[in-house]
């Protein structure tokens, strides 16, 4: 499962990731199956999650020259959950595989195999028990996991720092972790990828013109002006001057 060219000796040893428009499972925006080696499954699963996450900018840091991108969910927590699912799922349960369900306000990561025999929910983060010793050992050598059972503490800490509610764990014959979207901060504004690029450009330059923005992003000046007007409406920048001498500067946070 780590080194073979076609490692699906267990037919269900793969990950399915799904992004939904709403809260039912019929409104699918994107769906991918990730097979191959365990390392490639981890990387491709995380790339899928990143592709479908919103990113925001904390404008309170703007004048300090800091580039602080804030995601709906902390990347550290999602990475830990995906690796945990691959490491600890029950590979002898061949009726299902790992799923990543991305809904508008929460993400579920579920894998076959409940808690390992003898463990209870209160043991999570306190005891380290490996269902699949060889998988855990190789992922440890590849520096994907530690052996201290600290993954749940890292997830909880990352969620708290990112202003997300605490995770929710349920177990039956499946192990399910649910992450809830972060609590909106008044200093944080959701931006499109183009607006985020403009924001980063301001961090570097402090004062720019619409021509500067258009040239930097390879877009028309009319498009640059529309995007600048969006940023002006939300106060991270303001317009100064008139006519050909018009430029835009960062607004200092109050």
Three-class secondary structure of residue 223 per DSSP: helix
Asked whether the beta carbons of 69 and 199 are under 8 A apart, the reply is no
The gap between the terminal CA atoms of the chain, to the nearest Å, is 54
Which pLDDT score is estimated for 18? 97
Which pLDDT score is estimated for 176? 93
The answer to whether residue 117 scores a pLDDT higher than 80 is no
Q: With 0.95 as the threshold, say if the pTM is over it.
A: no
The answer to whether residue 65 scores a pLDDT higher than 60 is no
Mean pLDDT check: name the lowest of 13-17, 137-141, 203-207.
203-207
Tell how many helices (H) and how many strands (E) occur in the chain: 7, 12
Domains of the chain: 15-180 (3.30.565.60), 192-250 (1.10.10.10)
């Amino acid at each position: 499962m780590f080194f073979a060219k076609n490692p699906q000796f267990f037919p269900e040893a793969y990950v399915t990731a799904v992004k939904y428009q709403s809260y039912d499972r019929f409104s699918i925006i994107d769906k991918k199956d990730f097979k191959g080696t365990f390392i490639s499954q981890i990387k491709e699963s995380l790339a899928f999650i990143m592709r479908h996450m919103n990113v925001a900018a904390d404008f309170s840091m703007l004048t300090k020259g800091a580039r602080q991108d804030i995601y709906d969910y902390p990347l550290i927590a999602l990475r830990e959950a995906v690796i945990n699912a691959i490491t600890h799922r029950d590979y002898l349960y061949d009726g299902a595989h790992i799923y990543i369900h991305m809904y508008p306000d929460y993400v579920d990561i579920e894998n076959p195999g409940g808690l390992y025999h003898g463990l209870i929910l209160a043991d999570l983060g306190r005891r380290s028990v490996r269902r699949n010793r060889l998988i855990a050992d190789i992922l440890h050598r590849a520096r994907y996991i530690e052996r201290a059972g600290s993954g749940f503490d890292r997830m909880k800490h990352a969620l708290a720092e990112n202003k997300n509610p605490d995770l929710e764990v349920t177990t039956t014959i499946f192990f399910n972790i649910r992450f809830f979207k972060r609590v909106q901060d008044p200093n944080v504004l959701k931006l499109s990828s183009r607006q985020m690029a403009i924001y980063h450009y301001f961090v570097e330059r402090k004062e720019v013109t619409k021509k500067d923005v258009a040239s930097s992003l390879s877009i028309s000046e009319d498009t640059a002006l529309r995007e600048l007007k969006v940023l002006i409406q939300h106060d991270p920048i303001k317009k100064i001057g008139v006519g050909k001498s018009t430029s835009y500067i960062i607004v200092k946070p109050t």
